[in-house]
Every structure is written in structure tokens, then in C-alpha cells.
């Protein structure tokens, strides 16, 4: 029903997204989407570029007088750094004559795979699209979707569980079912998007330690959707399962290497008697109807939402752009390249400002 | 390019699958697919039904004289138990007059979510399709795909890493890159599809211990694809990323609650300098061209296969059909149901006989 | 929302179709679908095979006690002639040793294009799937969809307008808006599915005349959907337009070469003042709300249904299997083939027993 | 493989299109696309707006140094009239306070259906997207595709066969197989995109006559694709048939009411012996291999391209914006509206500047 395409290079004039299938008459709040973009750019340990850019959407179609009209919505996010890249990223046929190609392929990036798949010997033509800057466009899409979901009382939040090995102790993770507005306010106030202030400071210390070594961190974040009605997704056909769709969305984040629904890998080691969530029916007049005593399933049973909060966790690998770079190779000659330092020195992933956001690269 | 739909109920006359998009002229080996179906039905701790059924495909279209013709391939897997269910699962309008409905909704199953989504007050109409028997049809599809991939030198294997908390010690897991034919032969010979014979016995003991307590186990299995060329998948649009597609496929397995690519969650705690895989070029005449010194990425960089084995792990929750059942509820009245014992007493998941296979439920 | 795949060869064991997305709880009437299949096989001028086959569906999944369960529906149509083709169409690898290949490519068939696309030098492997027998599976799908649409008061009928140049005089075509049950009963009673009895006889005479010359006829039929609510389809994105979807469906009929919506090609020659349908609002208590004074648009404005009957016409080319065959060529040698007579001598298309049905070939 | 979404309103800031799936390394000629946009805006009988706008693409992603990079291509077409519409089409929530809604629903437009489907009582929010200005974005997409097809020697042209009932005499239509560069040059030079100069003048006279009566014309145009290899499309599954895909594309043009492939409706009245195209094989060294003696099939047999030119014709209804308007109704009250004159007075469709172009509305 709902489709979208994102487009744009990291140093091109802009990112663009077209979203198709949003109903007409939905209140549209551009500022709320800009707030999500700001959150994506926030967090501790931002590199230089994150300060240059202050992403904002420009609404180019689909919205009039503050509400949707039923047609496709076009959002544009200008790249403020474009002025410095107009020549190197020009679309004009004759602009590339004096261009110096990038031929070095770096570990942990799409450099090698993209150069070989698309037969590009100027790796810039790979890294510009493979860059996680693309996720700014996704955050904008996610912002529109959140406004649609809000009409049905569904809210989506995310917070950081671990960075570089520093995180909540086993068994001491916050209970998603108990996360209230105050909890999410603490998350929003934290430089690490972590509700625990002390843990936030330890995470920052961990990042600084990595930075001193010229190294980088990964982490784990959790996404929680509340207010989800019973009945989304289906076991009828495998690609309709809600778990499969969430898995696809979250593993499409460029640096994601793992996804868990509910108890995830932990459930695999427990006996069945401790895993499955007993359901009960509340028949009182103001009752909530069907509910579960626990939520190990993360809100999905049989590929269908069961009314409990949907809980998913994502593992993000460390940023591949190290200050003390890893050995690289030359895509044209195949020879090793002597690398002393990358241009940029971002040191940390701060995950998930929005549904699937990620920092620029 | 390639589409398929599976169909069929757990106790209906048959499972059926139509696969569309397989090229013409591909050698088609029905016996190799039957072998995969046997593997799915093997493993320690099978319940009664697994012995009744000896799944076999019947080829109803798309194949002639042992090769494909380019049209859709139809495979049918007969349910050998159908003779005992013809009345209870009849399609005829007047067959249900004396039928006794199932109204109990069990924890960990699709019973409640399916009954509410599809407005069924006879839960049998939910559990028949939500049953993991559906995965037999997927194994058949996977078997066809493996024959296509084999034409390009790509092989897919899987093995068990952990059952009920019993598994390889951290750091002692088998290296997928070193898994040779002998390794996979040991896997095939193990009742637990585990290459380590001693570990196989400990896993069995763990299952028996659970069984004595009327309890069940989950587990973790690993899928390894070798011979994959550089270039499958793309960062160009998020739904083209190979990681996203693998995540979708694996999290569509009914009991899957987690997926990892390569180092997965473990990578999130490591410094970047220990995570990213350095690439090298082998220019010797018989050289293998581009390769990587390590494979923490699990064969995917930038959403594109990088030539190394693709490695993914799946966490499977314990079987929800406990011998000492969990409390259930009545879907019509909402009241608790006093359950003493389920009809069947399967006690263990033996994962992945094929790409996404799972035991019957 | 709704997907289906058809499968099966013309002389294989059966046709199979899996339909996914039909809601649960819908009354399912197998006999009504069989009636549609009978209609497809009826009509004047049937060849020998149409008498052999008496198509019937077998329901293999998705239906219980006369209603749908929400899972995929599998329908199987047995090929009663299969017993005579078991060897020539066997899936077994060693069955083809003494097989005599078909190498002649006939005009007007998929013989040449299929043989070259799929690199088949036994043209039988092309004609078995390209055969219009596949449309029997579509008629079954259409029958299921009609039962779903009937829940919303939508009915779909079709009738023959012209055969071999013999048809209604210009301006004397029946008005679809005036077609009542009696009209459709006359259509059903006609050997040509034409409501006009005299015209039916002239059409039959035309077919017999062609038959005497060893020649064949094409024709034009009209599909009329009544009870369609305002609002199906959209101008929002081009592939959502209802006109585009109808065009796709109707031009997917093997022998279809033209499609018109409403006034079609005739509208192109008229002045705008005589074409566009003036809308009115009926505000009386039992009023029908919005309606139009005319229906030149065929029920679609702006790619959206407008509440009037949806009217489409399809042009079907003459059957390519002539009794006095056209010159053929040999797909292996490229040489002309001396053809004296085809095996079968079907002489007429009787269109549209169902949504998109067509006779066997 | 190839996806695109168009977006934008008729009087919004711009039209935008994102095209995904174009290979890397393809030469990209923006000027050639602008030429197609100019052709769309040309033709006799243009209204005022066509003179205001001089459409041009701005390339916002996917292209560097005159070639594609493999990522999504974003094209933007600025609406030069936007400066006059900034208030009436503003996205800002408070901009609509003094806005005067459009409540009149006009015959032949999407006004009524769109207003009811999307529950809009300001019809402007319908007509802005339903406007055929959207086809400018399609012409841009078509321009990109033509550059891709040109790499394989495939060319697509179109020309006008009839306007307002004035066109080629039956049997005197130009033979698409004989259309050479000189023919297409005459088409390009004609104000009506008609290769026949005398006919061009008669068509113009016909338009002027309509204009004097405050009336409008429709027409028929033909699309011809040459250089198409044997093998595109398939009979394997109905939605893969090339005829079905062409039907979908052409009937998605806002005013299209009919489509023919090859001989189309005319074939339905002919005997089979005069319809089917005999194939021959040219085995000489420079030979063209398989070809056909005639091309009644319009280049498609069995849903697959057969190597001959693909020929399709489209019937376009008259423009619904008459100078002497048809009776309208008020979407809020349901009452008839007394209309004396529409704002604009376009009088003619000049079809198909590109694959699916159409004039602005």
C-alpha cells in the first residue's frame, strides 16, 4: 500500500524522497520531522560534517495548508556542503576532466563491492550513494509514517542499550512496557540517547578512550512501538509476517549486523516454560480486553502483532572510518595502499534518531 | 525475478508450492529435494507425527524429462495423515455440522492473534495454516533454488550451534570458512545436525532433561553460503540490500526471534580496528582475485556480497507445545482454561533442514 | 493485497492455482466455479478436446466447511487427457529417450518466440505452457474473486459482440446500463454467448463458412461490472489507475490484441461536448447519491471508478490453428516446413467465460 | 528491476521523479530529455500555460560527469508558474485561512471521483495531482529509458494518426516497418506530429472548427519500437506478457480510452489465414536470422517480442475543458452549477511527445 524511494548522494545537491500511499487529510507537521533530523544529527562524538549540516526538509508535493492531499509526498533535504562539491559531483559531461579519482578501497565500507558490482574505477561514485547519509532520507520517511501511526495511537521510540561494550548489565535493562514519557524524556536529554545518566557518562568515556587509540565503537539500540493493535502481519504467507518485515527494515540499516525481536537470542537458551507469554482477558467495562502477563515475544506471535509493545534490538558494527586507518587496497592495481589517516575521524555510532536513522559517513 | 507462493494446511490433503521464474533447461533432481525433506524430518526428539509423515514431492508442472521448461514449477507434498482428518478439515459446506471447535488459545502460538485477526472462533482454522508444517513447502522451494545456485557453484549448508543453552564455547565455534565436505558430512550424520559428536550427545542429554520436566528447548543454527560471487545485492535502495533480504527470509521462519550476519551482536562490542575485514588482491595466474583476510562481515559489505562465505545465525525460541502446558484461555469466553496436557509432546527444535526448514507443529 | 500464480501445462497432470489474500469467513461455492469452467468450455464450434475435458476444481487448501479461512487457496483442475500423455510429458529424467520432438514453429503461436527465448529445440516445451488452456486456471481465480466481489454487491458479466466480422450494427449495441438479469440469461442460453438470438445464428453461419474454407474467426467481447462503488483506483500514481489495471488484465489474455474502456476508440473521433458524462446528485431519501447522465467513460474518471458500470471491450484475434495451415518453419534448421493439416481443427474463439477465460489450444 | 515514482502538483513548486534500477556507466544526455519535454509542449492549439512553461529537467542525483553511477536518478521539473501560486498551494498550515475552495466538479475530469475517494471538499486538492501535467514527469522517465534502450539499438517513436475524426484513410496508414529517419523527421516538423503535411493542415482546420464551437477534439496516436530483440516478455505467468505490460502503461495515460497491439480490433474481423505472420529464417552470412513476412501481430507473439517492430495505438478522448463548458455540479451541495466559461480554453490533444506524454491540464 505504501511505497517510497530515496535518492541522493552524500555530497550531491540534496537528498530526495517520494512517499506514495499516505492517506489524504492527515495533519502534516514539518517541524516534527525536522526535530527527528536534528535528533539524528545529535549525540556525542559527532564529526565535523554533522556540524556543517543542519538538516531540514522542504516539502515539494503532497501537502497543502498543513495536511496531506492523497498524492505522493516529496521531501527534499538540502546538502549544505554542496557549494564545496559542485565540481567534484557535477552531472555535466565535461566537468570531470581534471577530476582526481578515488581508487583506494577501505575495509568495512562498500568501496570494493560497489566498485566491482557497478564497474566503477572512481570509488567516489560508490561511496557517495553507499554513504549512511542516505539514512537522513529514511528518517524523513519515518517521520511521515510516525504522523500517520499517531492517528491510530501508535508511538515509536528508540534508545541506546550499549556502546563499545559499555551498557546495561544483564537483567538490568529497562522494561520496555514500563517506559513512560519521563523515560523517553531522559533518553532525549542524554547525549547518548540513553535513559540512564550514569551510563551515559560511562559510554562517553568509552568513546573518548577509543578516540585516543584512533579507534571506533559500535553499539546496540532498541526500538519500541506502543499502541499497536492486535492483528498486523500474517502467517498466511511468509513475506507477510510482521517479524520478517521488521527484520528486513532493520537489517537494511547500513551498519546493522543483527536483529532481535523480544527476547531474541536469549530465548534460545531458556526452557519453553519460561518463554511463552500467557494471555488473559480483561472483561471489566474499562478493561483492555486481551493482554499478556509477560512480553518475551516482543509483541509478535505467529507473525502477527499481539497487542503488547513491539520490541526489537539492532546491533550496529563500529564505524569503519578509523583515525588510525586499516590497510586499504587500490581498486585499479590491486596493490596495498599506505594509509596514514582518513580525512574524517568520526568515532561513534549514535543509533536510531527515528526509525532507521544513522549518522552521516 | 523469482516468485513463489506456498499453500496448505497442516492436516489438509497436501502442501502445494508454485515457483515462478526458474530458467529453462536447468537439470531438476526430485530425489535431492526429497533428501532435504527427509533431513527436515530427521533429528533427535521427533514427535509422533514426524514418523507418520515421510514427505515427498510430486512434480506437477514445469519439469519434463528431468529438466525445467521455463514455466512455473508446481510441487505437491501429500499429507499422509489426511485420511484421518478428511472430515475435520473438509472443504464441503455441510461437513462441519457435528464438528467440535477448538476454542483454547495457547501461549506462544498464533492461536490468539490469528483468531482475532481473522475473526475465527474455531481456532483450528488458525493453527492449521500457522503450523510450522508450512516450512516443508519452503524446504521444497529451497531445494529447487539450491539446484539453480549449484549451476553457479554456490552451495548452502546449515548446522546447529546451540540447543537449550548447550552449545559451542565462546570462541570455539567452527570457522565457516574452514568448513569442508568432511565437516558437513559430520553435520549430516549427527542426530542434532552438529558437527561435534560430543556436543551432539550433550545436546541430546539436555533435551531429555527438558523432556523429563515436561519442558522444551530452543536453539541457534548457522547458515553458510559458499561460492557466492561478488556483487549480489545493492546499497542503491534500501530494499535491495542483501542483508535486508536475508533478514526478511530468516525472520519469516515461524519461531525465529533473532538474526545475525557475520559477527552479529558480538561486533557491536568490539573496537573498529578488530572488526573490519582487510581486502587483498591475488594477481597470480590461478589467483582468486579479490579476497579478505578475515570475514567478520559475514560476506556482506555495503549490502553487497563480497566474495567471502555468507554467514548468518538464527535464534529459535523453544517449542510452545509443552508436555506440562502453560495456562491457556478460551477465545470465546475469555476465561482461563484448565489444561493438563497437550495432545502432542514434541520437545525440541532441530533447526534448518534446508534453507528455512522447521519441524512440524 | 491479492496475489495469485497459475501453473501447469496443457497436457500435464493438472493446472494449479494458488490465490493469496482472500479474507477469512467468505462463503466459498465450488459449484459456482465449476459452472464458470463449464461456460468456458461451452460455445459453438468446440474441437475434440473440449469434449474430453470437463473441467472441475478440487479445493486443496484455504477452505473449510464451505468458507475461507484466510490462508492461501489452492485449486487444482485435473487434465483428463493426462493418461494419454504421461510418457510424452513425464518429469522423469530418463523418460524422454524415445521422445519425438516438435520442431515446427507455426505462425500466430508462441512457438518461435518461446523456443528462442527459452532455448528449447523441442517446441513442445513451449506450446504446453503457452497454450490457452492456462486460461482455465484464470477462470477459476476469477470465480473466487467474483464470490468476494459479490459480498459487496459487485457483479461481472460478459457477452459476445462480434465474431468474424458479424456483430451488432454500429449504434445498435446493447446498452450495458440496461442489461438486466433477463439479458444475461439470454447470453447464457446462446451458443455464442450473444443476447441476440438472430445474431447468434448469423455468427454460427459465419463460423461454418470459415470452417468450410479451413479458416478461423476472431471476435470482440464486452465485460460489464455493475455495483462498483465510487473510489476504486487512483490518479495518485500511474500504476494505481483502474484503467491501467484493467488494460493489463485484459491484454494478458493470450489472443487479445485490443482493449477499450467505455466508448474507446469511438470517443477519439467525437467532439468533447458529446463525450463527457454530466454528473448529478440524487438527494431524495432513497436516492442513489451521485450518478451520471451518460456513461461514455465506461465507469472510470481520473483512473477512479465513478459508480457507473465499468465497461470494457476486448478484441481477440482469430485462432491460429487453421485446418488449412499456414506455412511453418523448422526451428532447428530454419527451413520451411510443408504442412498439410494440423492435428486439431478448432474453428472459433468463444470469448470470456469468466473474467479472462479463453478456449483451450 | 526498474522502478520509478512521480510526484508533484500542477501548480506546486515542481514535478519530481525518482528512477531506480538504471545501470551504472550509461551516458546521460540531459539535453535530449529536454528536447522530449519541448516536443510534449509543442503541437498546434496550445493554451496559455504551455507558453508560460518551458519545461527543463534539473538532475539532482544518480549522474556524474555525464554518466549514471548506479544509484537512483532524481529529476526535477520546475513549475515556472509557481510564483503565482505560492499562496494557493502552500504547504504551510496557516496559509489556507483566506483560501477560496473549488467546489465545482466538472464532467470528464477526476473532480468528482477524487473528491469522494479522498474526502476532499476543496476540489483543487484533487485536480492538482490528477492534472495531466503529471505526464511531464513521465516524459522525463521515458527519456531516461530511451537512452538505456538506445544502448541496445532500440528506438521508440510516435506519431499522430487521427484528430477529431480527421486522419489517414482506412488502408492508407503509414506502414510502421517502412518508417525511416525521413518519416520521423517529417513527424517532428509537423505541428500535429503527423508525417503527412496535407493531413496536418486538415487536422488543424478541424481543431479550429471545434474551437469556433467552443468544443474540443480527441485523437489516435501510434507508438513504434524498432530494434527490439526476440525474447522480451513471457507467457510463463500472465503478468509477464509484454502485451499486458504495454497495455498497462498506455492505459495509464490520463485520457487514454483504448489500446491496440498490431492490427488490434481490425484483426478480430479478419479470417485467420489473413492475420497470422509467417516466419522465415535468413541464413545468409549477413542475414537477419528469423523474421516475419508480415507484422499483423505488432511484434508480439505469445506475450513475447518476435523481433518485428512493436506497434501500439492509443485512443485519446477529447479534452474535457471545453470553452463552452458542460454542466457541472457542486461537490458540497450536490446542486447543479451554472457555468459560463472555464478559465482555460485548450482545444486539442496533441499526443505522445515521448512514451506516454500528454499536454498539461
Give the minimum alpha-carbon distance from C3 to chain A in angstroms, rounded to a whole number: 11
Predicted confidence at residue D48, as pLDDT, reads: 52
Distance CA B216, CA B324 (A): 10
The verdict on C272 touching D (C-beta cutoff 8 Å) is yes
Do the Cβ atoms of B118 and C70 come within 8 Å?
yes
Q: What angle do CA C4, C8, C11 make, to 5 degrees?
A: 155
User: Could you tell me the three cell numbers for D287?
Assistant: 542475414
Task: Give percent of chain A with pLDDT exceeding 70.
Answer: 91
Do the Cβ atoms of C66 and B94 come within 8 Å?
yes
Predicted confidence at residue D39, as pLDDT, reads: 93
Q: What distances in angstroms separate CA D163 from CA B48, B309, C260, C352, D160, one per listed residue?
A: 75, 62, 18, 32, 8
Chain segment D10-21, per-residue pLDDT in tens: 999 999 999 999
Predicted confidence at residue C323, as pLDDT, reads: 75
Q: How confident is the model at residue A324 (pLDDT cuts 50, 70, 90)?
A: confident
How many residues can be counted in chain C? 361
* Average pLDDT of chain D to the nearest whole number: 90
Q: How confident is the model at residue D354 (pLDDT cuts 50, 70, 90)?
A: very low
The verdict on D315 touching C (C-beta cutoff 8 Å) is yes
Taking a C-beta distance cutoff of 8 angstroms, is the pair A294, A278 a contact? yes
Q: What angle do CA A221, A227, A228 make, to 5 degrees?
A: 85
Say whether D17 sits in a helix, a strand or coil: strand
Q: For C305, name the nearest residue in chain D, comparing CA atoms only.
A: D113
Cβ-based contacts of C283 with chain D (< 8 Å): 334
Give me the total of CB pairs closer than 8 Å, taking one residue from chain B and one from chain C: 171
* Average pLDDT of chain C to the nearest whole number: 90
Predicted confidence at residue A355, as pLDDT, reads: 28
Cβ-based contacts of A82 with chain D (< 8 Å): none
Q: Is A108 left (phi over 0), alpha (psi -120 to 50) or beta?
A: left
Do the Cβ atoms of B237 and D20 come within 8 Å?
yes
> Does position C258 have pLDDT exceeding 90, yes or no?
yes
Taking a C-beta distance cutoff of 8 angstroms, is the pair A277, A297 a contact? yes
Do the Cβ atoms of B234 and D70 come within 8 Å?
yes
Of C109, C238, C263, the CB nearest to D301: C109
Point out the least confidently predicted range of A320-334, C150-164, D158-172: A320-334
Q: C-alpha B126: how far from its chain's center?
A: 20
Taking a C-beta distance cutoff of 8 angstroms, is the pair D225, D154 a contact? yes
Say whether A76 sits in a helix, a strand or coil: strand
Do the Cβ atoms of B113 and A302 come within 8 Å?
yes
Predicted confidence at residue C302, as pLDDT, reads: 97
Distance CA A108, CA A127 (A): 12
Predicted confidence at residue C172, as pLDDT, reads: 94
Give the minimum alpha-carbon distance from C69 to chain A in angstroms, rounded to a whole number: 10
Cβ-based contacts of D290 with chain C (< 8 Å): 112, 116, 334
> Does position D137 have pLDDT exceeding 80, yes or no?
yes
Distance CA B197, CA D20 (A): 50
- Higher-pLDDT residue of A250, A211: A250
Predicted confidence at residue D326, as pLDDT, reads: 85
Distance CA A187, CA A206 (A): 18
Q: Please name which of A309, A4, A18, A29 lies closest in space to residue A148, comparing C-alpha atoms.
A: A29
Predicted confidence at residue B286, as pLDDT, reads: 86
Do the Cβ atoms of A71 and C20 come within 8 Å?
no
Distance CA C22, CA C104 (A): 42
Q: Please name which of B163, B100, B96, B102 lies closest in space to residue B131, comparing C-alpha atoms.
A: B102
C34 membership: H or E segment, kind and range: helix C30-41
Chain segment D287-309, per-residue pLDDT in tens: 889 999 999 999 999 999 999 99
Q: For B71, name the nearest residue in chain C, comparing CA atoms only.
A: C129
Cβ-based contacts of C20 with chain A (< 8 Å): 236-237
Q: What is the mean pLDDT of residues C131-137?
A: 96
Q: How confident is the model at residue A193 (pLDDT cuts 50, 70, 90)?
A: very high
The verdict on C9 touching B (C-beta cutoff 8 Å) is yes
Q: For B317, name the nearest residue in chain A, comparing CA atoms only.
A: A268
- pTM for this prediction: 0.93
Cβ-based contacts of A304 with chain C (< 8 Å): none
> Does position A349 have pLDDT exceeding 60, yes or no?
no
> Which residues make Cβ contacts (< 8 Å) with residue B150, sequence separation at least 6?
none
Place of cell 471447535: B101
Do the Cβ atoms of B235 and A254 come within 8 Å?
yes
Chain segment C173-196, per-residue pLDDT in tens: 999 999 999 999 999 999 999 999
User: Could you tell me the three cell numbers for B148?
Assistant: 539453480
Task: Give percent of chain C with pLDDT exceeding 90.
Answer: 80
Predicted confidence at residue C52, as pLDDT, reads: 59
Cα atoms in the Cβ-side hemisphere of radius 13 Å centred on A118: 34
Best of B237, B239, B241, B304 to disrupt the D interface (most D CBs within 10 Å) is B237
Chains that touch D (3 or more CB pairs under 8 A): A, B, C
Predicted confidence at residue B127, as pLDDT, reads: 96
The dihedrals phi and psi of A17, each to the nearest 5 degrees, come to: -140, 140
The verdict on D143 touching C (C-beta cutoff 8 Å) is no
Cβ-based contacts of D33 with chain A (< 8 Å): none
In chain C, which among 16-45 make CB contacts under 8 A with chain B?
Answer: 16-18, 20, 23-25, 27-28, 30
Q: Please name which of B270, B278, B346 lies closest in space to residue B308, comparing C-alpha atoms.
A: B278
Predicted confidence at residue A286, as pLDDT, reads: 86
In chain C, which among 56-95 make CB contacts under 8 A with chain D?
Answer: none
Point out the least confidently predicted range of A9-18, B167-176, C114-123, D37-46: D37-46
Q: How confident is the model at residue D28 (pLDDT cuts 50, 70, 90)?
A: very high
Distance CA C125, CA C110 (A): 11
Taking a C-beta distance cutoff of 8 angstroms, is the pair C112, C327 a contact? no
Do the Cβ atoms of C20 and A237 come within 8 Å?
yes
- Higher-pLDDT residue of B283, C27: C27
Predicted confidence at residue C98, as pLDDT, reads: 85
Chain segment C200-255, per-residue pLDDT in tens: 999 999 999 999 999 999 999 999 999 999 999 999 999 999 999 999 999 999 99
Chain segment C260-317, per-residue pLDDT in tens: 999 999 999 999 999 999 999 998 888 889 999 999 999 999 999 999 999 999 999 9
Predicted confidence at residue C339, as pLDDT, reads: 55
Predicted confidence at residue A133, as pLDDT, reads: 95
Q: Please name which of A76, A142, A130, A40 lies closest in space to residue A320, comparing C-alpha atoms.
A: A130
Distance CA D241, CA B32 (A): 32
> Does position D135 have pLDDT exceeding 80, yes or no?
yes
Do the Cβ atoms of D30 and A91 come within 8 Å?
yes
Per-residue pLDDT of chain B (361 residues; tens, 9 = 90+): 899 999 999 999 999 999 999 999 999 999 999 999 999 998 776 555 555 568 999 999 999 999 999 999 999 999 999 999 999 999 999 998 888 999 999 999 999 999 999 999 999 999 999 999 999 999 999 999 999 999 999 999 999 999 999 999 998 999 999 999 999 999 999 999 999 999 999 999 999 999 999 999 999 999 999 999 999 999 999 999 999 999 999 999 999 999 999 999 999 999 999 999 999 999 888 888 999 999 999 999 999 999 999 999 999 999 998 877 788 899 988 888 765 443 332 322 333 332 222 334 3
> Does position C352 have pLDDT exceeding 60, yes or no?
no
Chain segment A119-142, per-residue pLDDT in tens: 999 999 999 999 999 999 999 999
The verdict on B361 touching A (C-beta cutoff 8 Å) is no
Range list of H helices, chain B: 30-41, 48-52, 111-117, 124-130, 134-150, 181-189, 197-212, 242-250
Burial class, A311, CB count within 10 angstroms (exposed 0-12 / middle 13-18 / buried 19+) = buried
Amino acid at each position: 500500500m505504501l511505497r517510497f524511494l530515496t535518492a541522493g548522494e552524500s555530497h550531491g545537491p540534496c537528498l530526495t524522497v517520494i512517499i506514495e500511499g499516505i492517506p489524504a487529510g492527515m495533519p502534516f507537521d514539518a517541524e516534527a520531522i525536522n526535530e527527528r533530523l536534528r535528533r539524528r544529527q545529535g549525540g556525542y562524538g559527532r564529526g565535523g560534517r554533522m556540524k556543517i549540516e543542519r538538516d531540514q526538509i522542504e516539502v515539494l508535493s503532497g501537502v497543502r495548508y498543513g495536511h496531506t492531499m492523497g498524492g505522493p509526498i516529496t521531501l527534499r533535504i538540502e546538502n549544505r556542503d554542496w557549494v564545496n562539491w559542485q565540481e567534484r559531483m557535477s552531472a555535466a559531461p565535461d566537468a570531470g576532466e581534471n577530476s582526481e579519482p578515488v581508487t583506494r578501497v577501505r575495509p568495512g565500507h562498500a568501496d570494493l563491492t560497489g566498485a566491482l558490482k557497478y564497474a566503477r574505477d572512481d570509488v567516489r561514485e560508490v561511496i557517495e550513494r553507499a554513504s549512511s547519509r542516505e539514512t537522513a532520507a529514511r528518517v524523513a520517511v519515518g517521520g511521515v509514517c510516525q504522523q500517520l501511526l499517531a492517528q491510530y495511537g501508535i508511538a515509536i521510540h528508540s534508545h541506546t542499550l550499549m556502546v563499545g561494550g559499555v551498557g546495561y548489565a544483564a537483567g538490568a535493562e529497562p522494561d520496555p512496557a514500563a517506559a513512560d514519557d519521563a523515560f523517553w524524556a531522559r533518553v532525549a536529554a542524554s547525549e547518548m540517547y540513553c535513559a540512564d545518566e550514569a551510563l551515559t557518562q560511562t559510554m562517553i568515556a568509552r568513546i573518548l578512550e577509543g578516540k585516543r587509540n584512533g579507534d571506533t565503537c559500535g553499539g546496540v539500540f532498541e526500538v519500541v512501538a506502543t499502541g499497536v493493535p492486535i492483528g498486523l502481519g500474517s502467517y498466511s504467507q511468509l513475506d507477510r509476517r510482521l517479524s520478517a518485515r521488521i527484520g528486513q527494515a532493520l537489517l537494511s540499516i547500513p551498519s546493522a549486523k543483527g536483529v532481535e525481536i523480544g527476547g531474541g537470542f536469549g530465548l534460545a537458551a531458556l526452557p519453553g516454560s519460561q518463554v511463552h507469554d500467557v494471555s488473559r482477558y480483561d472483561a471489566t467495562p474499562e478493561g483492555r480486553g486481551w493482554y499478556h502477563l509477560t512480553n518475551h515475544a516482543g509483541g509478535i506471535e505467529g507473525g502477527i502483532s499481539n497487542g503488547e509493545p513491539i520490541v526489537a534490538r539492532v546491533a550496529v558494527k563500529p564505524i569503519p572510518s578509523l583515525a588510525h586507518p586499516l590497510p586499504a587496497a587500490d581498486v585499479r592495481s590491486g596493490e596495498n595502499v599506505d594509509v596514514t589517516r582518513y580525512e574524517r575521524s568520526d568515532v561513534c555510532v549514535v543509533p536510531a534518531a527515528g526509525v532507521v536513522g544513522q549518522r552521516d559517513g
